[in-house]
Amino acid sequence: MAWGGAMNEVGARVTKMVTKRYADLQEKPDAVFYVIDASRTPQQRSPARVVQQMVALQFASAHQLPMALAWAIIMLCKHNGYIDMLREEIQESKEAGGLVSTSKLRLMDCFLRETARLNPLDGLSIQRKAVKPFTFADGSHIPAGNLLAVPQEAILRDKRYYPNPGSFDPWRFYSPADSDKAIVRFTDVNWKFPFWGSPTQSCPGRWYASDVIKYALVHLLENYDMEPVNPIYRPMIWTTAIAPSLTMRVMLKPCATSYGK
């Protein structure tokens, strides 16, 4: 397995970890053990193959958060009228010591939720494989070995659930602090918003991801003005993946006005 560039460092670190793990194959609840345990043939259990699997797992689990952040930045550039409103909300959310309370960023929650609605990271969600034949309550039969998924992109653009589904409107989710309407969070899960998975088995790291994205946006909004250099708002589609354009560039300029200082 050949590495190049920064992958040399990544590969070396993972190889060291896997080699150490092979020296002690007593069951431990970690990812390396489960990859080794799931490998059935000598070829699959080779250290080189396990290293490859671990690197793939790391990248598969790590790309979603920065992609969601990238989409948020892109939508801020495209709908820059929200920038000042979000900056004002950030200042109002600060507690003693100047720390931002992310739970008070209601508009940002709605902005991120609407960004995810129009730019899901995959056209499909909740992908599953039938390990044995299964029949749904309506009579639909799934033979063993078939793959199933929820058509996430279609649901998120369905006018039955979202009026004017093609328009970017964070306010569709917003409720003022003094409103009786339930607060809608970026992390909320339901069948009309399967971005985080199903209501019964959703992403356990979504609160962490949400806070990381929020703090990153707080830093950017307080310190920089954002300007698209070459606005390319169309996504890059690869199989079912929906990714930001690889060639779009955003210029960050230090704010002329001091925010949050």
User: 10-20 burial, b for 16+ CB within 10 Å, e for fewer?
Assistant: bbeebbebbee
> Residue 205's Cα: distance from chain center in Å?
10
Whether 140 is covered by a domain: the verdict is: no
Which one-letter amino acid corresponds to residue 209?
A: A
The reply to whether 216 falls in a domain is yes
- pLDDT for the residue 261: 58
pLDDT tens-digit readout, 109-120: 999 999 999 999
Which CATH number belongs to the domain containing residue 187 in this structure? 1.10.630.10
Q: Is 203 annotated as a binding residue?
A: yes
pLDDT reported for residue 23 = 77
Is the pLDDT assigned to residue 29 strictly greater than 90? no
pLDDT averaged over every residue in the chain = 88
The pTM is what?
Answer: 0.79
Task: Kindly state whether residues 34 and 20 are assigned to the same domain.
Answer: yes
DSSP type of residue 193: B
For residues 96-107, average pLDDT? 88
Q: Give the separation between CA 42 and CA 53, rounded to whole angstroms.
A: 15
Measured CA distances, 71 to 40, 85, 169 (Å): 39, 18, 15
Percent of the chain past pLDDT 90, that is, above it, reads: 58
Do 199 and 248 lie in a common domain? yes
What is the mean predicted confidence (pLDDT) over 56-70?
A: 82
Q: What would the pLDDT profile of 174-184 be if each residue is shown by its tens digit? A: 987 666 667 89
pLDDT bucket at 43, cuts 50 / 70 / 90: confident
Over 70: is that where the pLDDT of 135 sits? yes
Give the confidence band of 69 by pLDDT, cuts at 50, 70, 90. very high
Residue 128 lies inside a defined structural domain of this protein: no
Examine the domain organization and report whether 235 and 187 are in the same domain. yes
Task: Look up residue 156 and give its DSSP letter.
Answer: H
In a domain, 2, yes or no: no
Which residue from 129, 128, 114, 102 is spatially nearest to 218, judged by alpha carbons? 102
pLDDT of residue 200: 92
- In the 8-state DSSP scheme, what is residue 199? T
| Residue-range definition of the domain harbouring residue 48 | 7-61
pLDDT of residue 246: 84
DSSP helix, strand, coil percent of the chain (3-state; round to 5): 45, 15, 40
Mean pLDDT across 6-35? 77
Q: What is the mean pLDDT of residues 198-210?
A: 92
Residues 174 and 70 in one domain: yes
**What distance in Å separates the CA atoms of residue 129 and residue 144, rounded to the nearest whole number?**
8
29 shares its domain with 115:
no
* 37, 61, 85 - which closes a domain: 61
Question: Do both 31 and 107 map to the same domain?
Answer: no
In a domain, 1, yes or no: no
Give 252's strand partners.
226
Do both 53 and 72 map to the same domain? no
The pLDDT of residue 60? 67
Residue 139 lies in a domain: no
Contact 91, 119 (CB under 8 A): no
pLDDT of residue 199: 93
- d(CA 67, CA 245) in angstroms, rounded, equals 10
18 and 44 part of one domain? yes
> What is the predicted pLDDT for the residue at 5?
65
pLDDT at 101: 92
Mean pLDDT of 194-219: 94
Return the pLDDT at 1.
Answer: 53
In a domain, 147, yes or no: no
